[in-house]
Chains A and B, each alone.
Chain A
Amino acid sequence: MAAPSKSTLLLKSVKKIVVQFCPFESNVRSTREFLALVGSEKARSTNMNCEVIPVVKHDKSEPVIDVTYVDGERLVMKGGRLTCSEMLNAFQSRCKDKDPQTLAGVKK
């Protein structure tokens, strides 16, 4: 399993994560690993208000991860051909960008 680049996932700026996949397909591995990492206790403890919603379908659709941030921005990742580490890097970089901004804004 690919380990995250940072040991802690910051979910403070995330409002909702919807992970949708069809478990009988073969390209679901990375999406499921992403779900396992994001849904872990450590990640969820950074933000208890953030909801992680897995949706299990059976219509041979592509696995999709839909992230809604607190400021309304949405990140849609189609995990069919992405690896877990790529998705995590993209997700974490965006979280990091949003988080210090809010913190800096609060400080100022």
Chain B
Amino acid sequence: MTYFLFNMAATLCVPLLRNQGWLPLVQSVRHGSKAVTRHRKPLHILKQKLLAVTEYIPPARVVPPGVYPSQNKQVQEENGFALLLKKDLNKVFEECRMIAVVQRNASSAEDMLVLKHRLFKHGIRIKFFPNQVTRSFLINSVYSNMAPLFIGPTVLFVSKEPKVKEMLSALRASPQMTLLGACIDNTLLSAQGVVSYSKLPSMTIVQGELVSGFTMLTSRTASMLQRHPAHLSALLQQYIKQQSPDKDAEVVPKAEEAT
């Protein structure tokens, strides 16, 4: 290419060159090597020297990197999806009285479906949330002590009514699910706590028992007073007699100790 141009220049400008003795217009300095190669083309020695001289030397650090925590690290924005999940979690925690955390060890899809169906009959729903989202939500809320439960494959059983017995029976049927803990009525319970909670009688029964216990005492005194007063005075005298021998017995040993 260059040779062709040289020839062309020579034929066109020959009279000019001959007259003024100019240098040729085209000089083929590098013959045969191209600009764009597949390998790394060796730099010209001058360029190499220039680059070597002008290399960047960073200023010496007074403090090694990583010693102080970086100040700008907390600007990470939450994923939009994570925010949505957190809102959902919030709603779940507010609505449902019972939230149980269960670890599932790879039960098949059919087992999960069967379990879901069984629990849905009692109004218990199964929810899945990613562990990271749940942990960050729990740490910021009141339920921070539940956070260490959420490691590995975990599933949430949520329900509005704490139907613990049915849940336990359903879990016993599927051996792969392990109950880790539960939060019932804003109280954190362990696995044994849940079992003992299930054995508790219902609120109405307990209230009835309390009321009957109180009324028994008052009814007894009422019945005693309603009887003939002679009977009452006889009872009281008997009571004093029982008290007084005890008092005499107490006085005698004290006298013995004194002497």
Contacts and interface: CB of A to CB of B under 8 A. Distances in A.
Partners in one complex: yes
Interface of A: 23-26, 28-29, 32-33, 35-36, 38-42, 52, 54, 56-58
B181 interface: yes
A64 to B, nearest CB: 15
A61 B221 CA distance: 52
Closest 5 CB pairs of A and B: A39-B105, A58-B190, A40-B106, A56-B191, A23-B180
Contact of A23 (B106, B108, B149, B193): B149
Interface of B: 101, 103, 105-108, 145, 148-149, 151-153, 175-176, 178-181, 190-193
Contacts of B148: 23-26, 28
A33 B152 contact: yes
A39 B151 contact: no
A33 B153 CA distance: 9
Given A24-B190, A58-B191, A35 B105 contact: yes
A56 to B, nearest CB: 4
DSSP majority for the A interface?
A: mixed
A29 B106 contact: no
Contact of B106 (A28, A39, A56): A39
Contacts of A24: 145, 148-149, 181, 190
A24 B101 CA distance: 12
B152 A36 contact: yes
A57 B181 CA distance: 10
Given A23-B180, A32-B151, A56-B191, A41 B106 contact: yes
20 contacts: A23-B148, A23-B149, A23-B180, A24-B149, A24-B181, A24-B190, A28-B151, A32-B103, A32-B151, A32-B152, A33-B152, A35-B103, A35-B178, A36-B103, A41-B106, A41-B107, A56-B191, A58-B190, A58-B191, A58-B193
A29 B153 CA distance: 11
